[in-house]
Structure 1
Amino acid sequence: MKLTWYGHSAFRIETKDARILIDPYLIGNPSWTDGWEGPADGITHVLLTHGHDDHISGALDVLKRSGAMLVANFEICMFMVGKGVGGDKINPGNIGGTVDCGGFTTTFVQALHSSSSQGEGGSAIYLGNPGGLVLHFPDDKTLYHTGDTDIFSDMALINELHEPQIGIVPVGDRFTMGGAVAALACRRFFKFETVVPCHFGTFPMIDQTADKFVTGMEGSGVKVALPKIGQTIEI
């Protein structure tokens, strides 16, 4: 499995049968200024954890021009259809559900956050409940992108049900859990082989580094992967 980080919570995942963008904040992202075209090359699926603009800005361009399949909650899917995405290019689900994506499955799990897009005059457009995403691949490791969230005790059930080996977790504080709490979540509730911190360094008001998380994971035996922005790594 190959993973590329584009800053914030935006990732590209490549396996034998799929090329996936998760939360493609590729337009207006202070950490990534090289456009959406490169990250979207050959993309088969776009997965969205929730509807905040720092997670979906770029998704519409990718979906309309690549023909990729959108996997997201029902409200986000219908919002994107209203913006011009084809009705045959959505694969909606909701918390607790699993959808077949062809080459892998996606299970929607809980996250403690909110979900909306900014409308005219700054009003909020409701876009369903936020979530995390568990990706099961038949011939590769299971990956859990927590989405934006705080720690919660039912993470133990997510681990029991899905046994993810790869974790992607937010560590920037203020809008999500901070690094120390994220490390506690990983150590207490999961048996990750590798964990990738995200949602830091993008804006001045969140933590600028993952240092607190790295410190919290010391001695855990879990590999903390810190790819540079735009760097592809094997996980």
Structure 2
Amino acid sequence: MKITWLGHSAFHLETATAKILIDPFFTGNPAFDEATRKDAAAGLTHILLTHGHGDHVGDTIKLAQETGATVLANADLAAWLGKKGVSKLDMGNTGGTVHFDGFSATFTQALHSSAQVTEDGTSHSLGSANGLVLHFEDEPTVYHMGDTDIFSDMALIRELHEPEIGLMPIGDRFTMGGAVAALACQRYFGFETVIPCHYASFPIVDQTADKFVAGMEGAQAKVAVATVGKGLSF
């Protein structure tokens, strides 16, 4: 498996059977390297969304129309995307699992919100905020937490899914900050590797992963502070 951070909470996962984008926020993301856009879209099979905020839905509509990739989102967000011209949609909701060729995706709880305000000033509720646990055949299990604070039922997510790789928001203000994210890792999970995200993208979130790295000192899990556009192999 190859995992590439594309800035903010956007990730590209490549396995033997799938090429997946999670929360593909490209346009307007100052941390995203536009030179990698072509590579991120090439051969794309799936787009997975944790919730409906613009910095996570991102370029989903355009990418889905250009590539024919299947989009997975919660039921409310999927219905909204269908009205926006996305034709290949799969939907689920908290606790549910959707099976694809070579992997499955389970919607977990996240402590966050999920809505968008359209050009006419109308606020559209787009279902629950979620995390996604991805189980692969012969590949590590990956947990993208979406946007969330710490919550004690993270212990149940570990018990149910035993994720080996965590993609964890650490930037504070809209999600848990680095110190709290480190506490979540150490108290509730047994990750082999954690890749921090949702930082260094906008001035009002933390610009480095330093607080998280400091909080993970002595932890069992390896912290992989990724470089945007540079893949990590597992």
The TM-score, its normalising length taken from structure 1, stands at 0.97
**Count of paired positions:** 233
Contact 1:53–1:118 (CA under 8 A) maintained in structure 2: no
| Residues 51 and 117, structure 1, Cα contact 8 Å, conserved in 2 | yes
Secondary structure in structure 2 of the residue aligned to 1:37 = helix
Query: What secondary structure is seen at the aligned counterpart in 2 of 1:65?
Result: helix
Q: Counterpart in 2 of 1:165?
A: 164
Instruction: Determine whether 1:90 maps to 2:78.
Output: no
1:44-83 matches, within 5 Å, as 44-83=45-84
2:145 equivalent in structure 1 = 146
Distance 1:64 1:161 in 2: 35
Distance in 2, Cα, partners of 1:198 & 1:223: 15
CA–CA distance in structure 1, aligned partners of residues 19 and 94 of structure 2: 23
CA contact under 8 A between 1:167 and 1:192: conserved in structure 2? yes
Identity among equivalent positions (%) equals 57
**Partner secondary structure for residue 158 of structure 2:** helix
Once the two structures are superposed, residues 108-161 of structure 1 have per-residue CA deviations (whole angstroms, 9 ceiling, x without a partner) of 000000001221244421110000000000211100000000000000000000
The separation in 1 between residues aligned to 2:4 and 2:103, in whole angstroms, is 18
The structure 1 segments of at least 4 consecutive aligned residues displaced by more than 6 Å after TM superposition are none
Mapping of residues 1-235 of structure 1, within 5 Å = 1-34=1-34, 36-86=37-87, 89-235=88-234
Q: Could you tell me whether the CA contact under 8 Å between 1:27 and 1:33 is conserved in 2?
A: no
Give 1:33 shift. Answer: 4.5
In structure 1, what residue type is equivalent to 2:208? T
CA distance in 2 between counterparts of 1:154 and 1:116 reads 24
TM (norm. structure 2) is 0.97
Give me the CA root mean square deviation.
Answer: 1.1
> Where does the alignment leave 5 or more consecutive residues of structure 1 unmatched?
none
